Chains A and B, each alone.
Chain A
Amino acid sequence: MTRPPGVIPRIFIPRDAAALSVGAQAVAEAIAAEAARRGIALDIVRTGTRGLLWLEPLVEADGADGRIAYGPLRPADIPSLFEAGFPHAAGHPLCLGLTENLPWLRRQYRLTFARVGLVDPLSLDDYRAHGGLAGLHAARALSPAEVVARVAASGLRGRGGAGFPTGIKWRTVLGADAAQKYIVCNADEGDSGTFADRMLIEGDPFSLIEGMAIAGHAVGASQGFIYLRSEYPHAEHVLRQALAAAREAGVLGGIFDIALRMGAGAYICGEETALLESLEGRRGVVRAKPPLPALAGLFGQPTVVNNVLSLAAVPWIMAHGAEAHAALGTGRSRGTLAVQLAGNIRRGGLFELPFGITLRAVIEDFGGGTRTGRPVRAVQVGGPLGAYLPAHLLDTPLDYEALAGAGGMLGHGGIVVFDDTVDMARQARFAFEFCAKESCGKCTPCRIGAVRGVETVDRIIAGTDRAANLAVLDDLTALMTDASLCAMGGLTPLPVLSALRHFPEDFHRPVPADAAA
């Protein structure tokens, strides 16, 4: 979308929270001030982030062949940037050339994130100009059952972590007989190492809104709720404005509307039944299943509960066809995965790729190894309930079944990298500590087991009766796995046991003399 000469050049500066965290606002102000000082007219557009977070603040300018990228910029770089001819400053050392030619973008398949970083997140015109609302129009031309069949045929599986087929969930809600049904978007993205939901909401909120409207049509629901975690104030700000804009334009209201609800700092509310309790105004305590939320969910009514990325994938599927989506990926993992590379990593960010790329390719080719430059020792995939994998398992492909085969889980697609200074006994202890702090308290294996787990790992670290305490740990993790009500207690053993299996030496370290007392 280049413009003829003579038009005021457009400058794109992210307002994504991650970009702001490294000074994007100060850079935007410095650019505006410098342009004013020089009498240069610029049209500054605030966008989401491209997801190449090590390059933030990444500023782009319209060029003859596409957008030109500059980054990472500091306010102090701005005068020299203009000196070099900004917005056409190809000679500046921080000029990265055409954005679309950046290798980490060129190798991606941006379906869900196609517009993120490209458009003004709050402009419906921009959204439409980049293919927005085509999916909703296509869906409303079909019967609900046809929409459900198309989503099922696409192979889309729940992106929140469990990987349950979205089409089957929708079919259940469609088949349920009730006067009121609900679409609930789970935007309680609590897993450490994940930020895809936040990035999508801040960069392209209308795609989520459109996906929910399609879901409403597909199952016969007139009301949607987005449950967003309170740790994301920037996403809240964008979403409130986007919902108002969608309502004003008639995209929402009438046959389908959405209310935004904020969480209050409870990790467990990412579990779907705890989330529903929280939406109803109560403590986020997990419900026993059955009944499934699809049959008796929010306020007892049939409810679709889907992750942000599952819902945001639907407009693309409706607009481009189920086959185009199913053609990407591997095995039973179809479509794309929002790989989120985090922790001790040189080039961290979000890369949308077909399922099946290996951990090694992501960490080495995209990530460039650790930020500290030390060897990778452990990688936690899938959030705090995911396994720690050692360096020799890095050739595992990123798909649901392959990760499970390696003793882990893919979860929401977060990858946290640790270098060789990590103490895996400490990480195992933290898994229990986190569970103890965040357990809803309903079931005993989780509520008590997590506390006993911290105590047991402490004894092992301290060198107290190690063999006996390792046996206790074995017993305790088996009990938690088998008898917990939900994934919180049921999967906390995963990081613990993977740390024990792959890094046993960390549990048998000599005890420092001063700690042996």
Chain B
Amino acid sequence: MSRHAAWNIEVARSLLDGLQGQPGAVLPMLHALQAHFGHIHPEAVALVAAAANFSRAEIHGTISFYHDFRTAPPPARLIRLCRAEACQAVGCEALVEVARTRLGLEIDAPQPGGEVAIETVYCLGNCALGPAALVDGELVAHLDAERLAALCEGAPVAAVQALPA
């Protein structure tokens, strides 16, 4: 079950059409494709290059530079765990261990076909209420083993947010 549409080159073309002509359109184009399809399909490189008047090499370079852009579909649930200093100060690295040993999830390891993956992110701007994570576009605070397990099991983010601290 995916939140994203299956790759379709015609749909991709029409998405890009709407963004053509504005200065510096490459990142908006890549974001639009990823928002719709969940990833940047390899066939999209030539489309974006043509639409933005860049070379294919330049577009490949841009896609590969940024952590956000993925070239394969994401898992059904993606947990972006903050591992920057403010969250380190309240034990985010212990959660990395919890994920590995208790939940069987290696951080940042590709999970082909997996339902859930945990990826490192550096700072979500929730530095006073860490450890923090961003899940399905929603921010979670005071992450601990119990909350992380619930998120991995697919619990609604709102339910985890409302748990007593």
Q: Do A and B bind each other?
A: yes
Interface residues, chain A, with chain B CB atoms under 8 Å away: 17-18, 20-23, 25-27, 53-54, 56, 72, 74-76, 189-195, 198-199, 230-234, 259, 261-267, 278-285, 299, 340-345, 348-349, 371, 380, 384, 414, 416-419, 422, 427, 430, 434, 438
Q: B52 within 8 Å of A by Cβ?
A: yes
Q: B41 within 8 Å of A by Cβ?
A: no
CB-defined A-B contacts under 8 Å, sample of 20: A21-B126, A72-B165, A74-B162, A190-B122, A230-B68, A231-B80, A233-B134, A261-B24, A263-B27, A264-B27, A265-B66, A265-B67, A265-B68, A266-B66, A279-B27, A285-B65, A345-B128, A414-B127, A417-B89, A430-B88
Contact B86 A343 (CB under 8 A): yes
Contact A282 B130 (CB under 8 A): no
B80 neighbours in A (Cβ, 8 Å): 231
B65 neighbours in A (Cβ, 8 Å): 266, 283-285
CB distance from B83 to the nearest CB of A (A): 9
**Which size class do B's interface residues fall under?**
35 or more
- Candidates B52, B122, B129, B158; contact of A53 at CB < 8 Å: B129
B68 neighbours in A (Cβ, 8 Å): 230, 263-265
CA distance A343 to B90 in the complex (A): 6
A278 neighbours in B (Cβ, 8 Å): 27
Contact B127 A340 (CB under 8 A): yes
Task: List CB contacts (< 8 Å) of B150-165 with chain A.
Answer: 158, 161-165
Give per-residue flags for B72-85: 1 if the beta carbon is below 8 A from chain A beta carbons, else 0: 00000000101011
A371 neighbours in B (Cβ, 8 Å): 90
Q: B113 within 8 Å of A by Cβ?
A: no
A20 neighbours in B (Cβ, 8 Å): 138-139, 161
Q: B87 within 8 Å of A by Cβ?
A: yes
- Candidates B28, B69, B158; contact of A26 at CB < 8 Å: B158
Q: B61 within 8 Å of A by Cβ?
A: yes
Q: Which of B25, B61, B65, B158 has the most CB of A within 10 A?
A: B65
Q: B42 within 8 Å of A by Cβ?
A: no
Q: B99 within 8 Å of A by Cβ?
A: no
Name the residue on B nearest A237 (C-beta).
Answer: B137
Contact A21 B161 (CB under 8 A): yes
Contact A26 B129 (CB under 8 A): no
Contact B61 A192 (CB under 8 A): no
B128 neighbours in A (Cβ, 8 Å): 18, 53-54, 195, 340-342, 345, 348-349
B26 neighbours in A (Cβ, 8 Å): 280-282
Q: B31 within 8 Å of A by Cβ?
A: yes
Contact A195 B126 (CB under 8 A): yes
CA distance A76 to B163 in the complex (A): 10
Give per-residue flags for B112-136: 1 if the beta carbon is below 8 A from chain A beta carbons, else 0: 0000000001111111111010100
Q: Given contacts A261-B27, A348-B128, is CB(A430)–CB(B85) below 8 Å?
A: yes
CB distance from A288 to the nearest CB of B (A): 18
Name the residue on B nearest A189 (C-beta).
Answer: B125
Contact A284 B161 (CB under 8 A): no
Contact A192 B86 (CB under 8 A): yes
Name the residue on A nearest B90 (C-beta).
Answer: A344
B31 neighbours in A (Cβ, 8 Å): 230, 262, 264
CB distance from B44 to the nearest CB of A (A): 14
Contact B122 A18 (CB under 8 A): no
CB distance from B62 to the nearest CB of A (A): 6
B162 neighbours in A (Cβ, 8 Å): 23, 26-27, 74-75
